[in-house]
Amino acid sequence: MPRPKSPKKQKPDIVSVHLAPESKARLDQVCEKRGMTIKRLLGRLIEWFVDLDRTEQSIVLGLVEDDDIVGLAEMVLARRNGSRLYARGRRRR
């Protein structure tokens, strides 16, 4: 009788990140203070980032002009707080 096939193990997605030695040392310090691994910290940051809408991602990525950040951030906060002014017809993308 043939053996049943076991489900294929899913290979983890691996991402390589190159950091300057100073940045790596600071990251190590943060992880040590927070009691977590770099892998877990980066996983949480990535999950947080991809859940942001396009406007919020643009702010985080530095794609917004300095003069526009305050107004845009206020709009994002108002939208997150359910302001009627920003809530009508707007959806997260």
How far apart are the C-alpha atoms of 61 and 59, rounded to whole Å?
Answer: 5
pLDDT tens-digit profile of 20-60?
A: 999 999 999 999 999 999 999 999 999 999 999 898 899 99
Query: What is the predicted pLDDT for the residue at 49?
Result: 96
Q: Indicate whether 47 and 57 sit together in one domain.
A: no
Q: How many domains does the chain have?
A: 2
Residue 60 lies in a domain: yes
Question: What is the rounded distance in angstroms from the CA atom of residue 27 to the CA atom of residue 32?
Answer: 9
47/27 same-domain check: yes
Q: Are 41 and 34 in contact (CB under 8 A)?
A: yes
Structure confidence at residue 93 (pLDDT): 45
CA angle 72, 78, 82 (to 5 degrees): 145
Whether 61 maps to a domain, the answer reads: yes
Q: Is 31 exposed, middle or buried (0-12, 13-18, 19+ CB in 10 A)?
A: middle
Nearest to 56 by CA among 39, 35, 87, 77: 77
Tell whether 43 and 64 lie within a shared domain: no
Q: Indicate the pLDDT class of residue 12, thresholds 50, 70 and 90.
A: confident
Q: Residue 6 domain-assigned? A: no
85 and 59 inside one domain: yes
pLDDT tens digits, 51-73? 998 988 999 999 999 899 899 88
Per-residue pLDDT, 85:
58
User: pLDDT at position 13, please?
Assistant: 82
64 and 47 share a domain? no
